[in-house]
Protein backbone atom coordinates (compact mmCIF):
# COMPACT_ATOMS: atom_id res chain seq x y z
CA UNK A 1 0.00 0.00 0.00
CA UNK A 2 1.38 3.41 -0.99
CA UNK A 3 2.07 6.10 1.57
CA UNK A 4 -0.53 8.50 0.09
CA UNK A 5 -3.65 6.47 1.05
CA UNK A 6 -2.00 5.64 4.37
CA UNK A 7 -1.47 9.31 5.19
CA UNK A 8 -4.96 10.26 4.04
CA UNK A 9 -6.50 7.42 6.05
CA UNK A 10 -4.45 8.42 9.08
CA UNK A 11 -5.45 12.10 8.86
CA UNK A 12 -9.11 11.22 8.26
CA UNK A 13 -8.96 8.79 11.18
CA UNK A 14 -7.50 11.47 13.45
CA UNK A 15 -10.25 13.92 12.53
CA UNK A 16 -12.88 11.21 13.03
CA UNK A 17 -11.44 10.51 16.50
CA UNK A 18 -11.52 14.23 17.30
CA UNK A 19 -15.15 14.48 16.19
CA UNK A 20 -16.03 11.36 18.20
CA UNK A 21 -14.27 12.82 21.26
CA UNK A 22 -16.19 16.07 20.77
CA UNK A 23 -19.47 14.14 20.63
CA UNK A 24 -18.55 12.19 23.76
CA UNK A 25 -17.53 15.38 25.59
CA UNK A 26 -20.74 17.12 24.58
CA UNK A 27 -23.00 14.19 25.44
CA UNK A 28 -21.25 13.18 28.65
CA UNK A 29 -19.77 16.45 29.82
CA UNK A 30 -21.52 19.53 28.47
CA UNK A 31 -25.11 18.32 28.15
CA UNK A 32 -25.19 16.68 31.62
CA UNK A 33 -23.96 19.98 33.07
CA UNK A 34 -26.85 21.83 31.41
CA UNK A 35 -29.25 19.15 32.60
CA UNK A 36 -27.85 19.54 36.12
CA UNK A 37 -28.32 23.33 35.89
CA UNK A 38 -31.87 22.83 34.68
CA UNK A 39 -32.61 20.39 37.48
CA UNK A 40 -31.06 22.78 40.00
CA UNK A 41 -33.26 25.55 38.60
CA UNK A 42 -36.29 23.28 38.91
CA UNK A 43 -35.42 22.48 42.53
CA UNK A 44 -34.90 26.19 43.15
CA UNK A 45 -38.39 26.78 41.78
CA UNK A 46 -39.73 24.20 44.21
CA UNK A 47 -37.82 25.94 47.01
CA UNK A 48 -39.46 29.22 46.03
CA UNK A 49 -42.83 27.44 46.08
CA UNK A 50 -42.06 26.26 49.60
CA UNK A 51 -41.19 29.82 50.62
CA UNK A 52 -44.39 31.13 49.00
CA UNK A 53 -46.48 28.50 50.80
CA UNK A 54 -44.74 29.33 54.05
CA UNK A 55 -45.39 33.05 53.51
CA UNK A 56 -49.05 32.28 52.84
CA UNK A 57 -49.26 30.34 56.09
CA UNK A 58 -47.42 33.10 57.90
CA UNK A 59 -49.87 35.64 56.47
CA UNK A 60 -52.78 33.50 57.62
CA UNK A 61 -51.18 33.13 61.04
CA UNK A 62 -50.62 36.89 61.22
CA UNK A 63 -54.28 37.49 60.32
CA UNK A 64 -55.34 35.06 63.03
CA UNK A 65 -53.08 36.76 65.57
CA UNK A 66 -54.42 40.22 64.68
CA UNK A 67 -58.05 39.11 64.79
CA UNK A 68 -57.71 37.09 68.02
CA UNK A 69 -56.03 39.89 69.96
CA UNK A 70 -59.27 41.81 70.21
CA UNK A 71 -61.10 43.05 73.26
CA UNK A 72 -64.64 42.32 71.97
CA UNK A 73 -63.63 38.75 71.11
CA UNK A 74 -61.99 38.40 74.51
CA UNK A 75 -65.27 39.49 76.21
CA UNK A 76 -67.34 37.20 73.98
CA UNK A 77 -65.28 34.19 75.03
CA UNK A 78 -66.18 35.08 78.61
CA UNK A 79 -69.87 36.10 78.36
CA UNK A 80 -70.92 34.34 75.09
CA UNK A 81 -72.89 37.42 74.02
CA UNK A 82 -74.89 36.57 70.83
CA UNK A 83 -74.69 40.19 69.71
CA UNK A 84 -71.01 39.73 68.98
CA UNK A 85 -71.70 36.88 66.61
CA UNK A 86 -74.49 38.77 64.87
CA UNK A 87 -72.21 41.75 64.34
CA UNK A 88 -68.73 40.36 63.69
CA UNK A 89 -69.23 36.91 62.15
CA UNK A 90 -71.28 37.93 59.15
CA UNK A 91 -70.05 37.40 55.63
CA UNK A 92 -69.26 41.09 55.21
CA UNK A 93 -67.44 41.28 58.53
CA UNK A 94 -65.36 38.18 57.83
CA UNK A 95 -64.56 39.06 54.19
CA UNK A 96 -61.28 40.88 55.09
CA UNK A 97 -60.05 37.70 56.74
CA UNK A 98 -60.19 35.82 53.39
CA UNK A 99 -60.86 32.50 55.10
CA UNK A 100 -63.20 29.59 54.52
CA UNK A 101 -63.50 28.53 58.15
CA UNK A 102 -63.48 30.16 61.59
CA UNK A 103 -63.34 28.25 64.86
CA UNK A 104 -63.43 29.78 68.32
CA UNK A 105 -62.26 27.26 70.91
CA UNK A 106 -62.12 27.80 74.67
CA UNK A 107 -59.39 26.61 76.97
CA UNK A 108 -61.07 23.21 77.42
CA UNK A 109 -61.17 22.47 73.68
CA UNK A 110 -64.89 23.14 73.32
CA UNK A 111 -65.86 24.75 70.06
CA UNK A 112 -67.69 27.92 71.08
CA UNK A 113 -68.37 29.04 67.52
CA UNK A 114 -67.72 27.60 64.05
CA UNK A 115 -68.44 28.98 60.64
CA UNK A 116 -67.61 27.52 57.21
CA UNK A 117 -68.39 29.53 54.08
CA UNK A 118 -66.89 29.48 50.62
CA UNK A 119 -64.31 32.21 50.33
CA UNK A 120 -65.90 35.44 49.04
CA UNK A 121 -69.50 34.17 49.18
CA UNK A 122 -72.39 33.33 51.53
CA UNK A 123 -72.45 29.72 50.41
CA UNK A 124 -72.01 27.47 53.44
CA UNK A 125 -69.45 24.68 53.41
CA UNK A 126 -70.05 21.36 55.02
CA UNK A 127 -66.60 20.96 56.51
CA UNK A 128 -66.03 18.02 58.81
CA UNK A 129 -63.60 20.07 60.89
CA UNK A 130 -66.30 22.74 61.53
CA UNK A 131 -68.85 20.16 62.74
CA UNK A 132 -67.01 19.01 65.85
CA UNK A 133 -68.46 20.29 69.14
CA UNK A 134 -64.96 20.07 70.54
CA UNK A 135 -61.52 19.52 69.19
CA UNK A 136 -60.74 15.81 68.92
CA UNK A 137 -58.51 14.39 71.61
CA UNK A 138 -55.91 13.59 68.92
CA UNK A 139 -55.89 17.14 67.54
CA UNK A 140 -52.26 18.27 67.88
CA UNK A 141 -53.09 21.85 68.87
CA UNK A 142 -55.39 20.84 71.75
CA UNK A 143 -52.51 20.68 74.20
CA UNK A 144 -51.45 24.23 73.22
CA UNK A 145 -54.76 25.92 74.12
CA UNK A 146 -53.36 27.42 77.30
CA UNK A 147 -49.79 28.15 76.22
CA UNK A 148 -50.60 31.33 74.32
CA UNK A 149 -48.59 30.20 71.34
CA UNK A 150 -49.52 30.75 67.67
CA UNK A 151 -49.61 27.75 65.31
CA UNK A 152 -49.89 27.08 61.62
CA UNK A 153 -49.97 24.03 59.34
CA UNK A 154 -51.91 21.90 56.90
CA UNK A 155 -54.84 19.61 57.49
CA UNK A 156 -56.92 17.38 55.27
CA UNK A 157 -60.67 17.96 55.18
CA UNK A 158 -63.50 16.45 53.23
CA UNK A 159 -63.18 19.44 50.85
CA UNK A 160 -59.45 19.08 50.30
CA UNK A 161 -56.31 20.35 51.90
CA UNK A 162 -56.73 23.39 54.14
CA UNK A 163 -54.23 26.00 55.33
CA UNK A 164 -54.76 26.28 59.06
CA UNK A 165 -53.56 28.91 61.53
CA UNK A 166 -54.33 29.38 65.18
CA UNK A 167 -53.67 32.27 67.57
CA UNK A 168 -54.46 32.77 71.28
CA UNK A 169 -57.44 34.99 72.14
CA UNK A 170 -56.10 37.91 74.19
CA UNK A 171 -57.59 41.10 75.64
CA UNK A 172 -56.38 43.39 72.85
CA UNK A 173 -53.14 44.47 74.46
CA UNK A 174 -51.25 41.37 73.42
CA UNK A 175 -50.80 40.47 77.07
CA UNK A 176 -52.54 38.50 79.68
CA UNK A 177 -53.76 34.94 79.80
CA UNK A 178 -55.33 33.40 76.75
CA UNK A 179 -59.00 32.48 77.05
CA UNK A 180 -59.03 30.25 74.00
CA UNK A 181 -57.88 29.78 70.48
CA UNK A 182 -59.04 31.38 67.24
CA UNK A 183 -58.47 29.02 64.28
CA UNK A 184 -58.68 30.30 60.71
CA UNK A 185 -58.78 27.94 57.75
CA UNK A 186 -58.36 28.57 54.05
CA UNK A 187 -58.91 25.80 51.52
CA UNK A 188 -56.03 25.20 49.12
CA UNK A 189 -58.11 25.61 45.98
CA UNK A 190 -56.72 25.60 42.43
CA UNK A 191 -56.89 29.37 42.49
CA UNK A 192 -54.91 29.45 45.72
CA UNK A 193 -52.38 27.00 44.25
CA UNK A 194 -52.06 29.20 41.17
CA UNK A 195 -51.48 32.26 43.37
CA UNK A 196 -48.73 30.46 45.25
CA UNK A 197 -47.17 29.44 41.93
CA UNK A 198 -47.37 33.03 40.74
CA UNK A 199 -45.58 34.21 43.86
CA UNK A 200 -42.86 31.61 43.25
CA UNK A 201 -42.80 32.32 39.48
CA UNK A 202 -43.43 28.66 38.75
CA UNK A 203 -46.06 26.46 37.18
CA UNK A 204 -47.54 24.68 40.20
CA UNK A 205 -49.93 21.75 40.51
CA UNK A 206 -51.44 20.01 43.52
CA UNK A 207 -51.82 16.24 43.61
CA UNK A 208 -52.38 13.48 46.10
CA UNK A 209 -49.33 12.41 48.08
CA UNK A 210 -47.42 9.59 46.44
CA UNK A 211 -45.71 6.82 48.41
CA UNK A 212 -42.84 6.99 47.89
CA UNK A 213 -42.94 10.49 46.41
CA UNK A 214 -40.62 11.00 43.41
CA UNK A 215 -38.08 13.79 43.63
CA UNK A 216 -37.60 14.74 39.96
CA UNK A 217 -38.86 13.43 36.65
CA UNK A 218 -37.84 14.51 33.15
CA UNK A 219 -41.05 14.14 31.16
CA UNK A 220 -40.55 15.07 27.53
CA UNK A 221 -40.15 18.84 27.20
CA UNK A 222 -40.61 19.60 30.91
CA UNK A 223 -38.86 18.80 34.16
CA UNK A 224 -41.16 17.93 37.04
CA UNK A 225 -40.07 18.42 40.64
CA UNK A 226 -42.12 16.99 43.48
CA UNK A 227 -42.33 17.79 47.19
CA UNK A 228 -44.62 16.12 49.68
CA UNK A 229 -45.88 18.09 52.70
CA UNK A 230 -47.12 16.73 56.01
CA UNK A 231 -50.16 17.88 57.95
CA UNK A 232 -50.29 18.89 61.59
CA UNK A 233 -50.50 15.19 62.44
CA UNK A 234 -47.16 14.50 60.72
CA UNK A 235 -48.80 12.53 57.90
CA UNK A 236 -48.37 13.15 54.15
CA UNK A 237 -51.20 15.40 53.13
CA UNK A 238 -50.34 16.63 49.64
CA UNK A 239 -47.67 16.69 46.94
CA UNK A 240 -46.86 19.83 45.01
CA UNK A 241 -45.48 19.50 41.52
CA UNK A 242 -43.51 22.20 39.74
CA UNK A 243 -43.36 21.97 35.95
CA UNK A 244 -40.27 23.69 34.51
CA UNK A 245 -39.91 23.83 30.71
CA UNK A 246 -36.65 22.33 29.52
CA UNK A 247 -35.80 25.46 27.56
CA UNK A 248 -32.24 25.55 28.91
CA UNK A 249 -31.58 21.98 27.77
CA UNK A 250 -33.24 22.63 24.42
CA UNK A 251 -31.14 25.74 23.84
CA UNK A 252 -28.03 23.91 25.03
CA UNK A 253 -28.81 20.97 22.74
CA UNK A 254 -29.29 23.34 19.80
CA UNK A 255 -26.04 25.15 20.64
CA UNK A 256 -24.17 21.86 21.05
CA UNK A 257 -25.59 20.56 17.77
CA UNK A 258 -24.63 23.79 16.02
CA UNK A 259 -21.12 23.64 17.49
CA UNK A 260 -20.83 19.98 16.47
CA UNK A 261 -21.83 20.70 12.88
CA UNK A 262 -19.52 23.71 12.88
CA UNK A 263 -16.71 21.49 14.13
CA UNK A 264 -17.47 18.81 11.53
CA UNK A 265 -17.58 21.44 8.75
CA UNK A 266 -14.36 23.02 9.98
CA UNK A 267 -12.77 19.58 10.25
CA UNK A 268 -13.77 18.73 6.68
CA UNK A 269 -12.39 22.05 5.39
CA UNK A 270 -9.18 21.62 7.38
CA UNK A 271 -8.93 18.00 6.21
CA UNK A 272 -9.28 18.99 2.55
CA UNK A 273 -6.80 21.83 2.98
CA UNK A 274 -4.39 19.56 4.85
CA UNK A 275 -4.65 16.84 2.19
CA UNK A 276 -4.02 19.39 -0.57
CA UNK A 277 -1.09 20.79 1.38
CA UNK A 278 0.31 17.32 2.08
CA UNK A 279 -0.07 16.36 -1.57
CA UNK A 280 1.67 19.51 -2.74
CA UNK A 281 4.47 19.71 -0.18
CA UNK A 282 5.09 16.08 0.76
CA UNK A 283 3.26 13.35 -1.11
CA UNK A 284 3.68 14.54 -4.70
CA UNK A 285 7.42 15.38 -4.32
CA UNK A 286 7.92 12.11 -2.48
CA UNK A 287 6.11 10.20 -5.22
CA UNK A 288 8.27 11.94 -7.82
CA UNK A 289 11.44 10.99 -5.94
CA UNK A 290 10.18 7.40 -5.64
CA UNK A 291 9.31 7.14 -9.35
CA UNK A 292 12.71 8.60 -10.27
CA UNK A 293 14.50 6.12 -7.98
CA UNK A 294 12.52 3.21 -9.47
CA UNK A 295 13.27 4.43 -13.01
CA UNK A 296 16.97 4.78 -12.26
CA UNK A 297 17.04 1.38 -10.59
CA UNK A 298 15.19 -0.44 -13.35
CA UNK A 299 16.40 1.37 -16.47
CA UNK A 300 19.92 2.24 -15.50
CA UNK A 301 19.60 5.74 -16.99
CA UNK A 302 21.95 7.76 -14.84
CA UNK A 303 21.64 10.96 -16.86
CA UNK A 304 18.14 11.99 -15.62
CA UNK A 305 17.97 14.46 -12.70
CA UNK A 306 15.20 15.59 -10.33
CA UNK A 307 16.43 19.22 -10.11
CA UNK A 308 14.29 20.15 -7.06
CA UNK A 309 14.48 23.83 -6.10
CA UNK A 310 12.69 23.42 -2.74
CA UNK A 311 14.66 24.05 0.42
CA UNK A 312 12.80 21.59 2.63
CA UNK A 313 13.83 18.09 3.61
CA UNK A 314 12.45 16.50 0.44
CA UNK A 315 14.27 19.10 -1.72
CA UNK A 316 17.53 18.38 0.08
CA UNK A 317 16.87 14.64 -0.29
CA UNK A 318 16.27 15.06 -4.05
CA UNK A 319 19.48 17.05 -4.49
CA UNK A 320 21.46 14.51 -2.50
CA UNK A 321 19.91 11.76 -4.63
CA UNK A 322 20.94 13.62 -7.81
CA UNK A 323 24.49 13.94 -6.46
CA UNK A 324 24.50 10.27 -5.54
CA UNK A 325 23.31 9.28 -9.04
CA UNK A 326 25.97 11.55 -10.53
CA UNK A 327 28.65 9.90 -8.41
CA UNK A 328 27.31 6.48 -9.39
CA UNK A 329 27.42 7.53 -13.05
CA UNK A 330 31.01 8.72 -12.67
CA UNK A 331 31.93 5.51 -10.86
CA UNK A 332 30.29 3.42 -13.55
CA UNK A 333 32.16 5.34 -16.28
CA UNK A 334 35.38 4.78 -14.40
CA UNK A 335 34.55 1.10 -14.11
CA UNK A 336 33.79 0.95 -17.85
CA UNK A 337 37.09 2.66 -18.65
CA UNK A 338 38.96 0.39 -16.31
CA UNK A 339 37.21 -2.66 -17.75
CA UNK A 340 38.02 -1.48 -21.28
CA UNK A 341 41.65 -0.91 -20.47
CA UNK A 342 41.83 -4.18 -18.60
CA UNK A 343 40.21 -6.00 -21.53
CA UNK A 344 42.43 -4.17 -23.95
CA UNK A 345 45.49 -5.11 -21.93
CA UNK A 346 44.28 -8.70 -21.76
CA UNK A 347 43.70 -8.68 -25.48
CA UNK A 348 47.15 -7.17 -26.01
CA UNK A 349 48.64 -9.85 -23.84
CA UNK A 350 46.86 -12.51 -25.90
CA UNK A 351 48.02 -10.91 -29.12
CA UNK A 352 51.53 -10.56 -27.81
CA UNK A 353 51.47 -14.21 -26.87
CA UNK A 354 50.29 -15.12 -30.34
CA UNK A 355 52.89 -12.82 -31.88
CA UNK A 356 55.61 -14.25 -29.67
CA UNK A 357 54.57 -17.78 -30.65
CA UNK A 358 54.43 -16.87 -34.34
CA UNK A 359 57.72 -14.97 -34.24
CA UNK A 360 59.40 -17.76 -32.33
CA UNK A 361 58.34 -20.24 -35.01
CA UNK A 362 59.26 -17.70 -37.68
CA UNK A 363 62.70 -17.21 -36.15
CA UNK A 364 63.31 -20.93 -35.80
CA UNK A 365 62.47 -21.58 -39.45
CA UNK A 366 64.46 -18.54 -40.50
CA UNK A 367 67.44 -19.80 -38.53
CA UNK A 368 67.09 -23.25 -40.11
CA UNK A 369 66.76 -21.64 -43.52
CA UNK A 370 69.86 -19.59 -42.96
CA UNK A 371 71.80 -22.62 -41.74
CA UNK A 372 70.77 -24.66 -44.76
CA UNK A 373 71.63 -21.89 -47.17
CA UNK A 374 74.98 -21.42 -45.54
CA UNK A 375 75.67 -25.15 -45.64
CA UNK A 376 74.67 -25.51 -49.28
CA UNK A 377 77.79 -26.63 -51.44
CA UNK A 378 77.38 -23.82 -53.90
CA UNK A 379 81.02 -22.82 -53.76
CA UNK A 380 82.23 -26.42 -54.19
CA UNK A 381 79.95 -26.98 -57.17
CA UNK A 382 81.06 -23.68 -58.67
CA UNK A 383 84.73 -24.62 -58.19
CA UNK A 384 84.20 -28.10 -59.67
CA UNK A 385 82.33 -26.59 -62.60
CA UNK A 386 85.14 -24.13 -63.17
CA UNK A 387 87.79 -26.73 -63.01
CA UNK A 388 85.76 -28.95 -65.31
CA UNK A 389 85.33 -26.06 -67.69
CA UNK A 390 89.10 -25.78 -68.00
CA UNK A 391 88.84 -29.25 -69.59
CA UNK A 392 91.01 -31.38 -67.40
CA UNK A 393 92.85 -33.97 -69.31
CA UNK A 394 92.72 -36.63 -66.78
CA UNK A 395 89.59 -38.74 -67.26
CA UNK A 396 89.41 -39.85 -63.67
CA UNK A 397 89.61 -36.21 -62.48
CA UNK A 398 86.84 -35.28 -64.89
CA UNK A 399 84.72 -38.12 -63.52
CA UNK A 400 85.35 -36.94 -59.96
CA UNK A 401 84.47 -33.34 -60.82
CA UNK A 402 81.33 -34.46 -62.58
CA UNK A 403 80.36 -36.60 -59.61
CA UNK A 404 81.11 -33.68 -57.27
CA UNK A 405 78.94 -31.36 -59.30
CA UNK A 406 76.20 -33.96 -59.43
CA UNK A 407 76.31 -34.53 -55.67
CA UNK A 408 76.48 -30.81 -54.98
CA UNK A 409 73.50 -30.12 -57.22
CA UNK A 410 71.52 -32.86 -55.45
CA UNK A 411 72.39 -31.35 -52.10
CA UNK A 412 71.49 -27.85 -53.30
CA UNK A 413 68.20 -29.19 -54.65
CA UNK A 414 67.42 -30.76 -51.26
CA UNK A 415 68.34 -27.50 -49.53
CA UNK A 416 66.05 -25.55 -51.84
CA UNK A 417 63.21 -27.99 -51.21
CA UNK A 418 63.62 -27.64 -47.47
CA UNK A 419 63.98 -23.84 -47.86
CA UNK A 420 60.74 -23.76 -49.79
CA UNK A 421 58.99 -25.61 -46.94
CA UNK A 422 60.50 -23.18 -44.43
CA UNK A 423 59.31 -20.25 -46.50
CA UNK A 424 55.79 -21.67 -46.57
CA UNK A 425 55.82 -21.91 -42.76
CA UNK A 426 57.24 -18.44 -42.50
CA UNK A 427 54.56 -17.09 -44.84
CA UNK A 428 51.84 -18.63 -42.66
CA UNK A 429 53.40 -17.14 -39.51
CA UNK A 430 53.68 -13.78 -41.20
CA UNK A 431 50.00 -14.02 -42.23
CA UNK A 432 49.07 -14.80 -38.61
CA UNK A 433 51.07 -11.80 -37.39
CA UNK A 434 49.48 -9.56 -40.02
CA UNK A 435 45.95 -10.77 -39.13
CA UNK A 436 46.56 -10.35 -35.40
CA UNK A 437 47.90 -6.83 -35.88
CA UNK A 438 44.89 -5.94 -38.04
CA UNK A 439 42.51 -7.22 -35.37
CA UNK A 440 44.34 -5.25 -32.70
CA UNK A 441 44.16 -2.11 -34.86
CA UNK A 442 40.41 -2.58 -35.49
CA UNK A 443 39.81 -3.19 -31.79
CA UNK A 444 41.77 -0.06 -30.91
CA UNK A 445 39.77 2.01 -33.41
CA UNK A 446 36.24 0.72 -32.74
CA UNK A 447 36.42 -0.35 -29.10
CA UNK A 448 37.66 3.00 -27.71
CA UNK A 449 35.44 3.93 -24.67
CA UNK A 450 33.51 7.21 -24.74
Residues 6+ apart with CB under 8 A from 422: 365, 366, 368, 369, 372
CB 314 within 8 A of CB 289: yes
CB 141 within 8 A of CB 49: no
Q: Which residues of the chain have pLDDT under 70?
A: 1-4, 120, 213, 299-303, 306-307, 309, 343-344, 347-348, 358, 362, 391-395, 443-450
| pLDDT of res. 286 | 72
Residues 6+ apart with CB under 8 A from 302: 296, 325, 326, 328, 329, 332
Q: How many residues does the chain have?
A: 450
| pLDDT of res. 423 | 78
Closest CA to 165 of 299, 64, 49: 64
Q: pLDDT (tens digit, 9 = 90+) per residue, 4-49? A: 677 778 878 887 888 788 777 777 777 777 778 888 888 898 899 9
| pLDDT of res. 1 | 58
CB 48 within 8 A of CB 200: yes
Can you say how many angstroms the Cα of residue 191 is from the centroid of all Cα atoms in its chain? 56
> In this structure, what DSSP letter does residue 206 have?
E
Closest CA to 104 of 138, 80, 139, 128: 80
| pLDDT of res. 450 | 44
Encode 261-273: b = buried (16+ Cβ within 10 Å), e = exposed.
eebeeebeeebee
| pLDDT of res. 302 | 66
Amino acid sequence: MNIRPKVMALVAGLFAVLVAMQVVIQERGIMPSFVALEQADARTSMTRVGYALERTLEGLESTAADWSDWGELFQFMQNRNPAFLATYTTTVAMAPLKVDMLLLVDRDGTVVFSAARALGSDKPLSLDLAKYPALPKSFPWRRDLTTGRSMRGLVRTDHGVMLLAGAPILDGSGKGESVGLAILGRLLTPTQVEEIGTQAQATLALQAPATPAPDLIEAGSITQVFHTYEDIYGRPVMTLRVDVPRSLTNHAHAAVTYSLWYLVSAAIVVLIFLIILLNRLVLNPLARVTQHAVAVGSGGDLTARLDFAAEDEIGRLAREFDRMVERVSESRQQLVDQAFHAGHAELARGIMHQLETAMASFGAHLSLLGGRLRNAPVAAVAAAAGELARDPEHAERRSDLTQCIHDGCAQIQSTLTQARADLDVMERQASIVTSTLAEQRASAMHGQPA
